[in-house]
Amino acid sequence: MQLSIVVPTYNEAPNIAELVRRVTQAVRDIQAEIIFVDDSTDATPQTITDVAESASLPVRMIHRTHGAGGLGGAVVEGITAAQSDVCIVMDGDLQHPPEEIPALYADYVRGGVDMVVASRYVGNGRATGLADNTRVLVSKASTALTKSMFPIRLKDVTDPMTGFFLVDRRAIDIEGLAPRGFKILLEMLARKTLRVREVPFEFAGRHAGESKASFLEGLNFIAQLTALRFGKMSLFAIIGGLGALANLALLWLFTHFGMGYIAGMIIASELTIIGNFVLIERFVFQDMKGAASGVWSRFAKSFTFNNAELLVRIPVVALMVHSWHFSSVIAAAITLVIAFFVRFVFHALVVYAPKRAGARKSPLREFVEDLDTQAISPGEL
């Protein structure tokens, strides 16, 4: 097998037959296979099965019911299952023209690269398939932001947000990827220096169906970008900062409507603790949940620790103010900074600690290795 074409799909039934037909025509001189990795809730799996029976090239399907890692996770599963080390990733909606596959493959065969990226922003490439001017603006702004955060890793890439690319899986660390949402190319490029060439392509309109872009996917992108560039600790800090602002807003709201400030502080703190847990589950430690204890166990550990930390921090602030003559604001700020690091260490090494089996390393070595893994950015340094 010379080439494996990985197509992640979610409710793309009307596009499958046309996609397979056009891919078959495009790769008639290449020994290729198509691997659909499907998370659909509609008739897409049955459509793929039906089309595969009459296709003149191998068509396989991996149907997932869990959808781990979103579209990026689907791509990783497809690349892992591929018969060829050379894989092309493309969407199932025909916005990535199958007719460009030979150009990607030929550029790779020329040698000297690990990846060939189909770009909308190089040569005569175009992004005409974006729905409207707002989508174009968002795409260009996201690309500019991403390139500014990885100026070295992405210096040879004009379109790190594209989902249409060829990669030699021997050049990437598949197990080291932490797919989150739909920007899997960014994940690959940010985690390891790769030799990249680009070819232009015209981003087409959808053949059928509706776009899967959403506000939630936008949040996933911001979370992915932050985690890649700065690591889990910075994302944890951002959520903590948002929680602090929410805490103050809730306290003002409660007291504005006549509640005593002590009761208001307690309720605001408890609501913030719960909200922070939901956010760090979704955006910070998402990749560790599968190996950790159950969600209610994680919540109990987090909730208990945060309340215990609050009970310790209040008298420490009082001591700093009354005995050491710190201002209350400075005292609170110092304790919050210390509390941030303690919270991160506790969550990384206790709340989301994997359930381990077999012999254990020494506690000190395990502590240092786990903390290093969670705190150090996998991105550009």
pLDDT of 49 higher than 90 = yes
**Residue 38: what pLDDT?**
93
Written as six digits, the tokens of 9 are 């799909």
Q: Across 108-112, 183-187, 226-230, 237-241, which has the greatest mean pLDDT?
A: 108-112
Averaged pLDDT for residues 107-111 = 94
Domain ranges of the chain: 3-226, 231-375
Looking at residue 368, what is its pLDDT? 64
Res 359: pLDDT: 46
**Residue 379: predicted pLDDT:** 46
Does the pLDDT value for residue 367 go beyond 80? no
Given CATH 3.90.550.10, say whether it is the number of domain 3-226. Answer: yes
**Tens of pLDDT, residues 211-259:** 555 566 666 677 667 666 666 677 788 888 888 888 778 878 887 888 8
SS (H, E, C) 90-140: CCCCCCCCHHHHHHHHHHHHCCCCCEEEEECCCCCCECCCCCCHHHHHHHH
What pLDDT is stored for residue 307 in this prediction?
87
* Contact yes or no for 169/82 (Cβ under 8 A): yes
For the ranges 51-60, 186-195, 353-362, the lowest mean pLDDT is seen at 353-362
Pick 369 or 143 by higher pLDDT.
Answer: 143
Q: Report, as an integer, the average pLDDT of 79-108.
A: 93
Biggest alpha carbon–alpha carbon distance for the chain: 82
User: Measured on CA atoms in the order 373, 376, 377, 381, is the torsion positive or negative?
Assistant: negative
Across 73-77, 291-295, 376-380, the highest mean pLDDT is recorded for 73-77
- Read off the pLDDT band of 78 (50, 70, 90): very high
* Calpha distance 380→326 (Å, rounded): 39
Strands 32-38 vs 3-9: parallel, antiparallel or unpaired: parallel
**What average pLDDT does the segment 109-138 reach?**
77
Residue 134 pLDDT greater than 90, yes or no: no
Note the pLDDT of residue 381.
31
Q: Is the pLDDT of residue 106 over 90?
A: yes
Q: What is the reported pLDDT for 343?
A: 83
Q: pLDDT tens across 271-308, in order?
A: 988 998 998 888 778 777 877 888 888 999 999 988 88
* Average pLDDT value for the chain: 81
Model pTM above 0.85 = no
Rounded mean pLDDT, 106-118: 94
In the predicted model, is pLDDT for residue 183 greater than 50? yes
Other C-beta atoms within 10 Å of 110: how many?
A: 10
**pLDDT at residue 189 in the model:** 85
- pLDDT band at 51; cut points 50, 70, 90: very high
- Which comes out higher in pLDDT, residue 11 or 285? 11
Separation between Cα atoms, residue 362 and residue 335, nearest integer Å = 30
Is 209 a residue whose pLDDT tops 70? no
**In this predicted model, what pLDDT tens digit does every residue of 160-176 receive, in sequence order?**
888 899 999 999 988 87
199 contacts: CB under 8 Å, gap ≥ 6: 100, 103, 104, 107, 116, 117, 118, 119, 122, 123
Percent of the chain past pLDDT 90, that is, above it, reads 30
Q: Helix or strand or coil: residue 69? A: coil
Q: What is the pLDDT of residue 210?
A: 58
